[in-house]
Amino acid sequence: MKIAGTSAEAALLADQILPHLEEILKNYPEGITEYQLLKLLQERFAGVFNSAESEPLEIYHSHFFLFHCLYHLQRQLWRSGQDLNIFCLDIRIVNYQPAAESGKRPVPDHTTEKPAEQSLDPADPLREYYLDWSNYEEADEESVAGMLRTASRLLNAYWQKDEAMETLGLTEPLNRDELNRRFRELSKKYHPDAGADGVNPPPADHSGAGTGRRPGPSARERNSEKFRKITQAAHTLRRILDISPGTESPREFR
């Protein structure tokens, strides 16, 4: 079941929902998940939002319309010096902060300075995607199945983000240039064919030879394992950057 047949119908329905949406979010200052938010809206707008047990295309319709409303609410909040963090695992009202050098969208801070309209990022592909009602109308079962696969990969990457950041010795905010610089640095140091100086191959480890004890892992083996973890961590973080606010393809399901 489609929520609205035309963009005009969607706009009218969104106008009814936005005050309720803002009220709910103000009651959850620490953030709320998309699933929790949909459950609360289903209680207030029976028949508008499909349940999590619905068919994938119907679930997508609810997801799209919710995010359509969230991005409209974000624009309203900008006018009062606030912003809206929009991610399926963390939706919350925050104070506005201009985008950092990393190219990320605004993040929470303690300022209440009202942003100038020209300072707001007009090219956020996710916002453009969810505010374009034709993307809702054109979605079919095949395209939604692909989006769901992307969502699964993204969520898996986010679960591994903290460990990956620690492995590479990185701190927030995640930045592609810093990630690439750090990966090159660690790769040079721990590549299996590099030694402790990052140039010469590591010597063989003969500890335990002739004593009857099993030799421990060689320096090459230790480097190989470290290099594997570094490579996997970089892969995880690049996946997040590739499907994150301000950088992702408009067709990615968030």
Helix or strand run (H / E) with residue 85: strand 82-87
Residue 1 scores a pLDDT above 70 = no
pLDDT confidence bin for 16, thresholds 50/70/90 = very high
Task: Tell me the average pLDDT across 180-188.
Answer: 94
pLDDT at 145: 85
Domain ranges of the chain: 7-98+124-139, 152-194+219-242
Residue 183 scores a pLDDT above 60 = yes
pLDDT at 184: 94
Residue range 33-74, pLDDT digits in tens: 998 999 999 999 877 887 766 788 888 888 999 999 999 999
CA distance 221 to 36: 46
pLDDT at 223: 84
Q: What are the structure tokens assigned to 44, written together?
A: 């207030």
| Average pLDDT of the chain to the nearest whole number | 77
Helix or strand run (H / E) with residue 79: none
pLDDT at 234: 93
pLDDT at 178: 93
The better pLDDT of the pair 248, 8 is held by 8
Contacts for 119 with CB less than 8 Å, ≥ 6 apart: 98
Positive or negative, the CA dihedral 70, 75, 79, 83 is positive
**152-194+219-242 homologous superfamily:** DnaJ domain (1.10.287.110)
